[in-house]
A and B are shown apart, each in its own frame.
Chain A
Amino acid sequence: MSFVLNRLRTIGRILRHFISRRRWFLIPLLVVLLLSGALLLATGGLSYVAPFVYSIF
């Protein structure tokens, strides 16, 4: 549980940082990247999501 809470805390920190710096143009990119990161975490590894990552990037 603390694993997930720690990551959420870090995601919150990242978003606060980009908002405070007014890097609005980076928010869409960041959201996609963070969702990708969340997907990696939720599936517990690269093997399930590798085909998606490959097609996205």
Chain B
Amino acid sequence: MPAVLGISGEYHDAAAALVVDGVVVAAVQEERLSRIKNDARLPLHAARACLAHAGLAAGDLDRVVFYEEPVEKLERVLISTLRTFPRSLRQFPRAVGAQLGGKIWVIDRIAEQLGVARGKVGSTEHHRAHAASAFFVSPYPRAAVVTVDGVGEATSTALWQGDGSALHELARLEYPHSLGLLYAGVTAYLGFEVNEGEYKVMGLAAYGRPRLGDEFARLIQLHADGTFTLGLPYFAYLADAELGFGPAMERLLGPRRPPHRPWDLDDPADQHYADIAATLQQVTEDAMLGLAREARRRTAASALCLAGGVALNAVANARLAREAGFARIFVHPAAGDAGGALGAAILGALELGDPRPAPLATAALGLAIDVAGTAALAHELGLAVRTTGDVAGDVAALVAAGKIVAFCQGRFEWGPRALGQRSILANPADPDSRERLNRAIKRREPFRPFAPAVLADRAAEYFVGADADGDLTPFMTTVCPIHDRHRDRLAAVRHVDGSARVQTVTSASAPELAAVLAALDRTIGMPIALNTSLNGAGEPIIGNGTDALGFLLGHPIDGLVVGDLVITRGAA
């Protein structure tokens, strides 16, 4: 009974994933437990939680696999520092300090802190872990695989061929040429936080026009073979870890946008920044399309798998689905670095002779919510708690009445999306709910859109291309146009371009949410809910019942549903 733990961390999005006998048993991001957004520290809480879920102790593990080769990363840091000397002189102590202070000893620290024999702990390549996370839990026996992120050890982009239980590398592109670092650099230029604000840039792009093609042609040159070259003088990350873009980018695009300044898209200055985001989005899509087409040319595969942080760009994924020539596409739900933990665990399990895991049917791979414990704490806090025999009916009635409901059921999700286990639900037809959510509850920029969750077998009625058997919509990794006849009815989940980031729901992927959607069909006439993540501004998504009660007390929502409990702020 081989048990293999995969670990990611030490940069951002630390996570642990456990595979036992070739079955993905649990996968948990550290931030859900530590309550620190994008927590990068070694995911000891997450690792222990995975083991506890499986009823295992650390000593029962046959192997632990870290998602990156620390020695190769050290080599890249040293060579890059020498190449950019003397500009890198200021960065050198910090870079070397980070390596010596922890990163190169990561395998030792995992063994010591988890209590596993050092000989059982190993590592795999960053992009191989990404590729494994996407291909081995996809429904495809054979596929092309594209992995794109900022940088792993030295690789920023790689093409693979997945065949059964094997992954063959076809090509790689190395740092400093990186689509992820281009996106991160422009994200920083636009005043957003890197590794956090990329979603905001994608949302902002819909409000701009991609009119800065000539300027971006200096930032990145796309080649016919799918590769690309960055205009390195415009970027500062080679010599300054803090700053992704350099003064040359400000000379090219204008002064950077000050962080935290409120957005006003009627202001020509902010419209200029929206145009920059739109151009970045277009260039990113073009680059991804070039890579996907090259992968298809090399593999002749009919299916494509994507992973790496750039694969979280749902708008780009939609374009790949339309134009790359693949019949089917799958994106790992935790496509960023967290997902590397699962890829590493699967690679370790395959090496030990386990079979390839089954396709991922649900992202609910985290820890279950403690309903009884939540009820006890809610009573202690003086909250009104009642048990309902019709959770779906009650939630649908609240949502139909324009209420905003926090919804916690079962095990929490794997990846950055709330998929019905730790969600906020609202009426998809009610723009007032959207405004309230954006301004009072989530406190986000006004251009940030919300997503609809829809019953899978009814999705095609409302969304173009959202088929019940699609592989992208179950994990909310693409966007689909809303049918014209429903655009007005779906005002709260409609992007400015008439599309929506659809999640298709089945009783296998999220049974409680599927029941709510069926009940909503009876009350509002559509099996659709506005579904957004259950977290406040700058916080990780809720993990346990205590977090959920804290959210209820701290935010103006109308109710919290945990299991079969309906909890409100009124007196008990």
Contact = CB atoms under 8 A, between A and B. Distances in A.
B100 A33 contact: yes
Contacts of B101: 40
B10 to A, nearest CB: 14
Contacts of A18: 75
Interface in B304-330: none
Contacts of B104: 10, 14, 37
Interface string B82-119: 10000000001100100111001101100110000010
A19 B105 CA distance: 19
A7 B106 CA distance: 10
Nearest to A18: B75
Contacts of B96: 33, 57
Contacts of A3: 108, 112
A3 B73 CA distance: 22
A6 interface: yes
B209 to A, nearest CB: 47
A39 to B, nearest CB: 10
B71 interface: yes
A26 B78 CA distance: 8
Contact of B118 (A2, A29, A30): A2
B118 A9 contact: yes
A23 B93 CA distance: 21
Given A2-B112, A37-B100, A57-B96, A10 B105 contact: yes
A57 B93 contact: yes
A43 B444 CA distance: 48
B72 interface: yes
Contacts, number: 48
Interface residues on B, range: 20 to 34
Interface residues of A, number: 22
Contacts of A23: 75, 79
Nearest to B79: A26
B78 A13 contact: no
A57 B98 CA distance: 14
A30 B71 CA distance: 12
Nearest to B96: A33
B100 A7 contact: no
Nearest to B108: A6
A29 B93 contact: no
B95 to A, nearest CB: 11
A29 B78 contact: yes
A53 B92 CA distance: 12
Contact of A57 (B75, B92, B105, B118): B92
A26 B74 CA distance: 11
A17 B112 CA distance: 23
Contacts of A29: 78, 82
Contacts of B108: 3, 6-7, 9-10
A38 to B, nearest CB: 9
A5 B92 CA distance: 28
A13 B71 contact: yes
B71 A6 contact: no
B75 A26 contact: yes
Contacts of A53: 93
A18 B99 CA distance: 16
Given A26-B78, A26-B79, A40 B100 contact: yes
B100 A30 contact: no
Nearest to B109: A6
A44 to B, nearest CB: 14
B111 A30 contact: no
Interface of A: 2-3, 5-7, 9-10, 13-14, 17-18, 21, 23, 26, 29-30, 33, 36-37, 40, 53, 57
Given A2-B118, A10-B105, 5 more contacts: A7-B108, A10-B104, A30-B78, A33-B100, A40-B101
Interface of B: 71-72, 74-75, 78-79, 82, 92-93, 96, 99-101, 104-105, 107-108, 111-112, 118
The 5 closest A-B pairs by CB, nearest first: A6-B108, A57-B93, A37-B100, A17-B71, A6-B118
14 contacts: A6-B108, A7-B105, A7-B108, A9-B108, A10-B105, A10-B108, A13-B71, A14-B104, A17-B75, A21-B75, A23-B79, A37-B104, A57-B93, A57-B96
